[in-house]
Copies of this chain bind each other. A is one copy, B any other.
Amino acid sequence: MSDFIIRGDICTSADKKTIQTYEDSYAVCADGVCKGVFAKIPERYRDLTVHDYRGKLVMPGMVDLHIHAPQYAYRGLGMDMELLSWLDHYAFPEEAKYRDLSYAEKAYGIFADAVRHSATTRMVAFGTLHREATELLMDKMEDTGIVSFVGKLNMDRNSPDDLRESSAEESVAETELFLKDALGRYRNTYPIITPRFVPSCTDACMEGIGKLSERYGVRVQSHLSENPGEVAWVRELCPDTAFYGEAYDRFGLFGKPQQTVMAHCVYSSDEEIALMKENGVFIAHCPASNMNVASGIAPIRRYLDLDLRVGLGSDVAGGQTESLFTAMVEALQVSKLYWRIVDNSCKPLSVDEVFYMATKGGGEFFGKVGAFTEGYEFDAIVIDDSRLPHPQELSTKERLERAIYLGGDIKALVAKYCRGKRIL
Residues of A at the B interface (CB closer than 8 Å) are 73-80, 82, 94, 97, 103, 106-107, 110, 113, 288, 291-297, 320-321, 329-330, 332-334, 336-337, 339-342, 348, 350-351, 389-392, 394, 398, 401-407, 410-411
Contact = CB atoms under 8 A, between A and B. Distances in A.
27 contacts: A73-B390, A73-B392, A74-B390, A74-B392, A75-B406, A76-B402, A76-B405, A77-B398, A77-B405, A80-B350, A82-B336, A106-B391, A110-B389, A110-B390, A110-B391, A288-B333, A291-B334, A291-B337, A292-B332, A294-B336, A295-B340, A296-B340, A296-B341, A297-B341, A320-B406, A410-B411, A411-B411
Contact of A294 (B80, B329, B339): B339
The number of times this chain is found in the oligomer is 2
Contacts of A113: 389
A337 B294 CA distance: 6
B76 A401 contact: yes
A104 to B, nearest CB: 9
Contacts of A389: 110, 113
Contacts of A351: 79-80
Nearest to A398: B77
A293 B321 CA distance: 24
A97 B390 CA distance: 14
Interface-centre pick from A293, A294, A339 (highest chain B CB count, 10 A): A294
Contacts of A334: 291, 337
Contact of A77 (B74, B82, B401): B401
B336 A292 contact: yes
Contacts of A76: 401-406
Contacts of A405: 75-77, 79, 320-321
A109 to B, nearest CB: 8
Contacts of A106: 391
B340 A341 contact: no
A339 to B, nearest CB: 6
A152 to B, nearest CB: 20
Contacts of A292: 332-333, 336
B402 A296 contact: no
Nearest to A351: B80
Nearest to A106: B391
10 closest A-B pairs (Cβ-Cβ)?
A: A76-B405, A291-B333, A294-B336, A107-B391, A76-B402, A320-B405, A106-B391, A110-B389, A296-B340, A80-B350
Contacts of A341: 296-297, 337, 341-342
A302 to B, nearest CB: 16
A387 to B, nearest CB: 10
Nearest to A388: B76
A11 to B, nearest CB: 15
Interface-centre pick from A79, A113, A391, A402 (highest chain B CB count, 10 A): A391
B332 A77 contact: no
Given A80-B351, A329-B320, A405-B320, A337 B391 contact: no
Contacts of A403: 76
A320 B293 CA distance: 23
Contacts of A294: 336-337, 339-340, 348
